Amino acid sequence: MKRKGFSLILAMIVLVVVSSLAAFMVSLSSASAKNTSDIYLKEQAELLMQSATEYSILAILGHDNSNSCVENINITYPSSSNPIFDINVSLWYIFDFTPSSSYCSHVLSSNLVDGNSSFTIIIDTTVSTSSNLNLSEPIRLHRRTVQKL
């Protein structure tokens, strides 16, 4: 009779140990999946930041800068109806002349440009995860670029 009671206690201990190991494996698996997802989103944000910076340079070169300036560019990726990332680009100009205030409000200086270019741009690009994703650790990246045009 003593053996049956001992076997029952031993079986319960084995069940507790096995279930603890199974719970640990599930926890480790979900943490690994979350880590993989976070790395993917961060890499995607870095690529979007580079693309938005290049897009803003293209937008400036394609814009008639004699009447107005491109000062802000806002993009939602992949679409505005279901965004994953919000991309904001602020452009600050350094001209070789002094524009009127109605011409462009994002002018830092007008006497810092040499004779090799007509103006210089400071591009502030910010990429952040959209608030509708409800991430526990949201992603926000910032890059400042200086570009002579």
Could you tell me the pTM of the whole model? 0.75
Tokens representing residue 94 in the block: 């350094």
pLDDT tens figures, 52-110: 999 999 999 898 877 788 999 999 999 989 899 999 999 998 876 655 556 778 877 66
pLDDT for 98 equals 59
pLDDT tens figures, 113-147: 566 667 789 999 999 998 877 787 899 999 999 99
Residue type, 55: Y
Residue in the block written with tokens 């009127």: 100
pLDDT for 38 equals 85
pLDDT for 89 equals 97
pLDDT for 50 equals 97
Work out the widest C-alpha separation in the chain, in whole angstroms. 101
Q: How many CA atoms lie within 13 A of 104 on its CB side?
A: 26
Number of domains in the chain: 1
Residue in the block written with tokens 């526990």: 136
Provide the 8-state DSSP code for 101. Answer: T
State the residue range of the domain holding 39: 2-148
